[in-house]
Amino acid sequence: MNLKESIVFALRQLIGNKGRTLLTMLGMFIGIGSVIMILGLGEGFKGQMASFGEEIGIGAFYAYTKTGETHNLITEEDIELLNSMPEIKTVMGSINASGIAYDSKREEMTFRIYGSDPNYAEVIDKKELLAGRFINPDDDRAYARAIVVPDFFSKVMFNKKDYKSIVGESIALTINNQEEQFTIIGVYKTNVKLTDSKEMLKKRLQSQKMYVPIKTLALICEYGEGYSFVDGLANTEYDAKEVGAKVRNFLNKRHQQKDEYEVMTLAQQMDMINQMLNMITLFIGTVAGISLLVGGVGIMNIMLVTVKERTREIGIRKALGATNGVILRQFLIEALMITIIAGIIGMLMGYIGAMLIGAQFDIAAKLSIGMILFSAGVSIFIGLVFGVYPAYQAAQLEPIEALRYE
């Protein structure tokens, strides 16, 4: 029996015992599937963070006051002095608040409203305008009730796919328990699909920004002078972490504080997220490893049972001239077929799970070559390690004793 015939024969044996085969594969499904799912989500999230870093620049940072007390707020004078530093490209004040709106069916929608400097959306967030315009200095000086919204807001709020048609529309927003009328002056581009359901789009809206003049939002929310946090960009020729440390020291020294102000750079945030993802991956990997070990032991037990059940068949094949090597190869191939098929199904299940979970958080799960190789390698390794003993036992059976077995 050549290799091709051995594989075909092994598949027939597995199909003939479908229920037992699937139960045997269960541990492999769970183990490989869970690892692929967390790795797929992790890779997708890292890719998203990398794209975010490319969009706004790895030199992005924000400074904030820990207590938020009025006398510790970051002032306009602080911002001017920070902007005069050669290491800094720009620093802008920003405030935000929770907003509520109601669609034509009076269904509630919640989102974050950002009171921003006229250049904030273009410089800090790097938003691409699709229709209308961004906030300008005149809007800020006039305390205008003007707002810039994401492209899919047209479908969520007005049930329209044409986002250009909503420029100039008036909407009622509840901010700080006050209802205010705002006019849509611009629409910016997002990666959200308009083909998603309205309920899904409402969830997406919660993670998007709505931009209004900073003075308008400060007036509505009754904020005083100054900011509890500011956003900034370091010039590319300087290290963002060093610039962040300089900004922190400057603010603490200027306000005669020891440790009131803190600065977080995008690079630091990405490092923290990567550490967290690595810890989660390690934990899931440990659990998956235990599951794979249990699955491997299960495969070995089933293969030993199979050897016992097919003792007479082994005796007949040996009597007809099959060598120990042929018998060993046959049972080893059957064990490998179980683990390889389980690995493929587990990988697909894990990736589908990652896509479904990622869709809820705007994360595009990724399946890399490394993950495919990991699944294949683990499957083959478990098949060999846990399949070799039953195969060896089958190969060592004496033909006469095997033929006597009932």
DSSP output for 332-384: HHHHHHHHHHHHHHHHHHHHHHHHHHHHHTT------HHHHHHHHHHHHHHHH
Instruction: Say yes or no: 107 and 254 in one domain.
Output: yes
- The dihedral built from the CA positions of residue 368, 372, 373 and 379, taken in this order, carries a sign that is positive
pTM over 0.85: no
Instruction: Say yes or no: 149 and 253 in one domain.
Output: yes
Task: Tell me the two tokens of residue 287.
Answer: 């659990």
pLDDT at 121: 67
**Residue 61 belongs to what H/E stretch?**
strand 60-65
Q: Rounded to the nearest 5°, which phi and psi values hold at 196?
A: -65, 155
Spatial CA neighbour of 187 closest among 221, 158, 219, 230: 158
Cβ distance 265 to 304 under 8 Å?
A: no
Instruction: Say yes or no: 75 and 212 in one domain.
Output: yes
Asked if the structure places residue 266 within a domain, the reply is no
Asked if the structure places residue 265 within a domain, the reply is no
- The dihedral built from the CA positions of residue 306, 311, 317 and 321, taken in this order, carries a sign that is positive
Asked if the structure places residue 190 within a domain, the reply is yes
Asked if the structure places residue 264 within a domain, the reply is no
Report the distance separating Cα 367 and Cα 37, nearest Å: 9
CA distances from 375 to 56, 285, 339, 348, 366 (A): 36, 13, 10, 10, 15
Asked if the structure places residue 61 within a domain, the reply is no
Asked if the structure places residue 167 within a domain, the reply is yes
Ranges of residues in the chain whose predicted pLDDT is under 50: none
Instruction: Say yes or no: 85 and 227 in one domain.
Output: yes
Instruction: Say yes or no: 278 and 255 in one domain.
Output: no
Q: Give the structural domain span for 243.
A: 67-259
Alpha helices, DSSP H, located in 255-323: 266-309, 311-319
pLDDT at 58: 67
**Residue 44 belongs to what H/E stretch?**
helix 18-56
pLDDT at 119: 73
Question: 259, 281, 309 — which closes off a domain?
Answer: 259
Instruction: Say yes or no: 254 and 125 in one domain.
Output: yes
Domain count, the chain: 2
Report the distance separating Cα 283 and Cα 193, nearest Å: 33
Instruction: Say yes or no: 156 and 183 in one domain.
Output: yes
Instruction: Say yes or no: 75 and 135 in one domain.
Output: yes
Instruction: Say yes or no: 72 and 45 in one domain.
Output: no
Secondary structure class of 94 (helix, strand, coil)? strand
Instruction: Say yes or no: 174 and 133 in one domain.
Output: yes
Report the distance separating Cα 160 and Cα 166, nearest Å: 8
pLDDT at 207: 81
Instruction: Say yes or no: 105 and 236 in one domain.
Output: yes
pLDDT at 14: 76
pLDDT at 405: 67
Instruction: Say yes or no: 80 and 204 in one domain.
Output: yes
Asked if the structure places residue 267 within a domain, the reply is no
pLDDT at 205: 86
pLDDT at 363: 79
